[in-house]
Every structure is written in C-alpha cells, then in structure tokens.
Structure 1
C-alpha cells in the first residue's frame, strides 16, 4: 500500500512537471520575435526583469518620438530661414570672385 502511494505520488509529480515545464525552443522563439518586449522572460516566470525590459522598450519608443518634436520645430523654422541662408551663401560665393 505504501509503495502504491509512493508510485502514485511520483506519477502525479511527473505529470505536474510535464504540464508546467518550459521549452527552451519556445523561449528562444519568443526572445527572437518579441525580445524587447520581454516575452521570453514572462514565459519563464521572470516577471520583474520582463517588466523592466518592457518599460525600457516603451521608453525607447517614447524618447524616439519625443526627439522628433524639436527636430520638427527646427525643420519648420528652417523653412523660413532658408531664403536668408541661400542669399548669405550666394553673397559669400560672389565676394570670392572679382566682378570688375
């Protein structure tokens, strides 16, 4: 009777293990496809570092878009500055030649 219980407990433990074990292949696939999102770490139960990767991914995109704001303003200002910049450059070129 004790041997049967031990065998049953062992079989149950193996079944629970098989139901919960993680695949290295799945982890690699998640890392390659969704690496920056931390999906592979979520899959492996590393929630803290997965959230950190997800936050860094999000901040990376936010800062990229935030960098576009001053660049867009700069380009808009340049649209008004170009005539003067061209005139100034052309005058400098003309001054380098003698038109006597």
Structure 2
C-alpha cells in the first residue's frame, strides 16, 4: 500500500520540523565538541558519553603527561566528526522520515481493516 501525495507532503513537513540542523551541530561541535555536545544533539548518546569521558580523563591525567595522548585522540575524533556531521544529520532525517512513514502506513492499514479497529 502506498501513501497518498498529501500524506507524503505531510511527512516531509514533519521531517523538516523535526530534523536537526547542520549549522547547530557545527556550532555545538565548535563550542562543546570535546564534551560531545554535537553528538548529544544528534542523538548519538553512547559515543557522546565516550567522548565526554575521554575528555575528562584526558584533562585529569594531563598533569602526569598521559592525558596529552588522550587529548590528541579526542582532537583526531573531533576532526573526523567535522567531516561526518552532514552525514549524521542526513541519517537522523532519514530515521525521522522512516519512522513517520511506518506510522502513516500502520494508520492506513488499521483504518482499512475493521478487525484491527475492533481491538
């Protein structure tokens, strides 16, 4: 079963409203990147917590010198993230679009099947 043009337009409007902004992600990357701010914003909580922990460990252990190596690793991660942010935003938009499409299809199927409405 396919969605109507009106349903597709509604889904795209919702995707536009719910999608994350690349600009905001880059601002967070610049301001709070070492603490995973951009990753928290994009819904990548696990890797954001890992980045946050690495940064804290790096700062705390910088007194004994090991922290500098950890901070170099964090810096490399941030450079890679600067390249990956547009793809992460696109992936988040696709996830939202997929979820909305599946919900619309489920609603369409349930409205056509009286047995499902009886439940």
Please state which band the TM-score falls in when normalised by the shorter chain: 0.5 to 0.7
* TM-score, structure 1 normalization: 0.53
CA shift, 1:64, in A, is 3.5
Give the unaligned 5+ runs of structure 1. Answer: 68-100
Q: Does 1:24 align with 2:57?
A: no
User: What are the ranges of 5 or more consecutive residues in structure 2 without an aligned counterpart?
Assistant: 65-119
1:93 paired residue number: none
The separation in 1 between residues aligned to 2:14 and 2:35, in whole angstroms, is 29
Inter-partner Cα distance in structure 1 for 2:7 and 2:27: 34
The ranges of structure 1 where at least 4 consecutive aligned residues each deviate by more than 6 angstroms after the TM superposition are none
CA displacement, residues 35-84 of structure 1 (integer Å, 9 cap, x when unaligned):
1011111111222211110111111222236x4xxxxxxxxxxxxxxxxx
Q: Which has the higher contact order (CA 8 A, sep 6+)?
A: 2
> Greater Rg, structure 1 or structure 2?
1
What residue number does 1:98 align with?
Answer: none
Take 1:34 and 1:15, find their aligned partners in 2: how far apart are those partners? Answer: 30
Distance of 1:17 and 1:48 partners within structure 2 = 24
2:45 paired with 1:47: yes
1:61 is aligned to 59
Instruction: Give the whole-Å Cα distance in 2 for the aligned partners of 1:16 and 1:51.
Output: 29
RMSD over equivalenced CA pairs, Å: 1.8
Greater CA deviation, 5-14 or 52-61?
A: 5-14
How far the C-alpha of 1:12 sits from its partner, in A, is: 1.9
**Which secondary structure state, in structure 1, belongs to the residue aligned with residue 4 of structure 2?**
helix
